[in-house]
Amino acid sequence: MQEFGDILDNHVLLVALFACLIAQLSKLLVEVTKNRKFSLRMLMTSGGMPSSHSALVTALAMGVGQTLGWASPEFAITVVFAVIVMYDAAGVRQAAGKQARIINQIIDEIFVEGKEFNEDRLKELLGHTPFQVIVGLALGIAVSCLAANAY
């Protein structure tokens, strides 16, 4: 059981999770500023500004680079992992979100009031714009660098 407790000693993991948490909290602030609406649901949702996925994987890669070295195989692995996650967030998941929006619009037009349709609406906010991914990347780098300076 002690091995599980060692997770709390993993500085790289904790910094990456902290970067993700900051990104999720930032989404809440953006929602309040942009739409004048306070929604705790924003803390658990995917998509939006900034990309918490990008912040998480960037801080993870930076932490591995800072800890094990920039030429280490582990840093290379985390960089490749980060690129795949960010590409997916801005590409595949954003395209799926656009498709969901169009399908929801079709459903709204076909099944007007009075007709029965029991299916849930598709989630439209799945991915990120490239700008949201870049902001998440910058946030991950900043959090990782600030955490490295703190130790």
Interval 31-63: pLDDT, tens: 888 878 777 776 677 777 889 999 999 999 999
In a domain, 16, yes or no: yes
The better pLDDT of the pair 56, 126 is held by: 56
> Model-level pTM?
0.74
Total domain count for the chain? 1
In a domain, 119, yes or no: no
pLDDT at 12: 95
In a domain, 114, yes or no: no
Q: Which domain holds residue 61?
A: 2-91+127-150
Per the omega criterion (within 30 degrees of 0), is the bond before 73 cis? no
The candidate with the shortest Cα–Cα distance to 46, out of 142, 137, 138, 132, is 132
In a domain, 39, yes or no: yes
